[in-house]
Structure 1
Amino acid sequence: MSLAQGRFIAFEGGEGAGKSTQARLLAEALRARGLGVVVTREPGGTPGAEAIRSLLLHPPGEAGWTPEAEALLFAAARADHVARLIRPTLARGEWVICDRFVDSSRAYQGGAGGLGDAAVTALHAFGSDGLRPDRVILLEAEEAALAGRLSARGAAADAIEGRSAAYHRAVAAAFHALAEADPQGFARIDALGSPEEVHARILAAIADLIP
């Protein structure tokens, strides 16, 4: 008896877009349909990648990482994550739902960080054999709305969340460009509204993937 096909869904978007909440709601909905689901995150998801996450979000020293070093660390964390968690899960016929994947590196380090898309995708080709999600869910909202959500959290910003508004605008523009260039791979979802409303939009956007 053959295994059901595993699917890989990545959630992307700026800080405060609701990625973690929507990843959880999607996992619950898929499990209710009898599907095996693993929810993970980037950077992180495996012991090695979680160790690198700590270095990225709380870098040593005042200057932090150079853009090049940051991109290499993200790629290293992703390589471990893909090899040790994502590919084995998909091979078992289960779904992987990931809070951020390579398109975050393309938008943050490649776009806003100025490294360019070619450098980031080359690192991904080497470290993770170019693995792509079956669908990227890009949660989009106006800058002011996301800023309000972040303020409501009340948590201290990490090294990336705490960057300038101009940097985060550049991230949003980079995500927009990536989605425009790959309309089949990306589902652009309005992130405003109740969690249940946004969840319904996401289910509709991946209906063709659900058995």
Structure 2
Amino acid sequence: MTTYAELNAAQLANHALNIFIAEGRHIEGARVIYRALQLDPHQPDALRSLSDFHANSGTEAFSAATMEYALSGAIDLNPEERQKLEALHFLDIWTWGFARHNSGEAQLGAEAFKNRDDFEVDHAAYAAFLGTIVEPAGSLQAAFQAAHRLSGLMAGFLQHGGNDDPDLDDVLRGEGFVETAEYPQWLQSSTDDVDALDKAIQEQRQKG
């Protein structure tokens, strides 16, 4: 039996992508993302998955901060990885309403995103949106760390020692958080379910 404790960051990141494909935002995704980035805060697919996980109503700014950190130069990305993350990030910026296509169309196919010159981006509004997380956190890196911390909280792997219901300020400050008993228990649990999901997705891809 393989346990989660035996997996490296890249393996965990792969499972995170699979879970997002199959389930969308899911607690098991939060678990593998938290572990992957604990092992390697620079793992590109894990950073992408953390951004995807937070790209939901109420946590979008954490998603943006994660991707901005990944693209800031702090992470050693090869050209293919950078291109992929930049494309995904621009799609998010458009989805959140900070970019408008020159055609005025609200529904766009993948082809439309190949030429970003066809979009008008409201950089000031996006910067203000990003600033809601980065400014109180103190830096882009600290904002990313808060996004990671939030995934651990949502996974049930972190708790605040002095507040049973930590708020945004608690998450951004990062003080007083401790790991729960659930985390080491999960690390020793079997990966059978995510292995089966990976196999099913690989088989589906092979079928075309």
TM-score > 0.5, shorter chain as reference: no
Query: Which fold has the larger relative contact order, with Cα–Cα distance below 8 Å and residues 6 or more apart in sequence?
Result: 1
Q: Point out the structure with the larger strand share.
A: 1
Q: TM-score range by the shorter chain?
A: under 0.3
Higher-Rg member (1/2): 2
- Flag the structure with higher helix content: 2
Q: TM-score, normalised by structure 1?
A: 0.27
Give the TM-score normalised by the residue count of structure 2: 0.28
